[in-house]
A = this chain, B = another copy of it.
Amino acid sequence: MNYPPSIQKLIDLFSKFPTIGPRTASRFVFYLLRKPKEEIDELIKSIHFLKERVKICSFCFNSFEGETALCPICLNPSRDRTLLCIVANETDLLSIEKTKKYRGLYFILGRMVSRLKKADIEKLRIKELEERIKSHPEIKEIIIALNSTTEGEATALYLERLLKPFGAAQGKKITRLGRGLPVGGELEYADEETLSSALEGRR
């Protein structure tokens, strides 16, 4: 016995959602089946509006709604235009915003790469990044704010090489997020690399 086709089709679509397998996908479908028509219509409308209303900022590639070409962060006159922070995606941008410790601008790279192969690197917004840096000489520091994972490290390494000329020729600083023990971290369980970074970055 299998699910009827309308149910199976929607299970298949939900199974493609990040972190979702067929079991959770089927729970989603039965959850929707139990909902009244109005709630289903609200969901359909919200998915529809997402594509229709959300725009991408012409400077930093952040998602936003509005009549302008630039997102609220890029438009905000109180942001520090000498700082550019490169992040992988919107979620990471929001994580940094939540710290309230960063007041510069952002650039969303779109993703990370695990290998420095041409085919992979072409999926990053490299040309756009170079263009932004060239046309904005006021930028004094470029912060590479990527995960400390293998992917994040490979991508950061690539960016460091790419941005080196800007550093050398124009005196721009290229920095990375500090590494060390996270909140709650214990020396006993820290790997040697993390602990080395924590020692080197002691303050």
Residues on A lying within 8 angstroms of B by beta carbon are 1, 3-7, 9-10, 13, 17-19, 23-24, 26-33, 37, 40, 42-44, 46-51, 53-54, 63-66, 72-73, 87-92, 94-99, 101-102, 143, 145-149, 152, 175-188, 190-203
Contacts of A90 in B (CB 8 A): 30
A187-B1 contact given A44-B44, A47-B43, A50-B6, CB 8 Å threshold: no
Shortest CB–CB separation between residue A167 and chain B, in angstroms?
13
Q: Which B residues are in CB contact (< 8 Å) with A99?
A: 192, 195-196, 199
Query: Chain A's interface: helix, strand, loop or mixed, by majority?
Result: helix
Q: Is the CB of B6 within 8 A of A46?
A: yes
The closest CB in chain B to the CB of A198 belongs to: B177
Contact: B184 with A197, CB < 8 Å?
no
Question: A180, B183: Cβ atoms under 8 Å?
Answer: no
A187 partner, pick from B23, B66, B96, B188, beta carbons under 8 A: B96
How many whole Å from A186's CB to the nearest CB in chain B? 4
The answer on a CB contact under 8 Å between A64 and B4 is yes
Also in contact, A181 and B192, with CB within 8 A (given A44-B47, A65-B6):
no
In angstroms, Cα B24 to Cα A150, docked, is: 22
CB neighbours of A73 from chain B (8 A): 1
A197: chain B residues at CB < 8 Å are 178, 180
Partner pick for A27 among B6, B18, B187, B203, CB 8 A cutoff = B18
A198 surroundings in chain B (CB, below 8 A) = 177-180
Q: Quick one: given A178-B198, A199-B102, A200-B178, are A91 and B46 in contact (CB under 8 Å)?
A: no
B5 touches A32 (CB 8 A): no
Looking at the assembled complex, report how far the CB atom of A148 sits from the nearest CB atom of chain B, in whole angstroms. 4
Contact of A179 among B27, B53, B181 (CB under 8 A): B181
What residues on B are CB-neighbors of A65 within 8 Å? Answer: 4-6
Q: Are A10 and B48 in contact (CB under 8 A)?
A: no
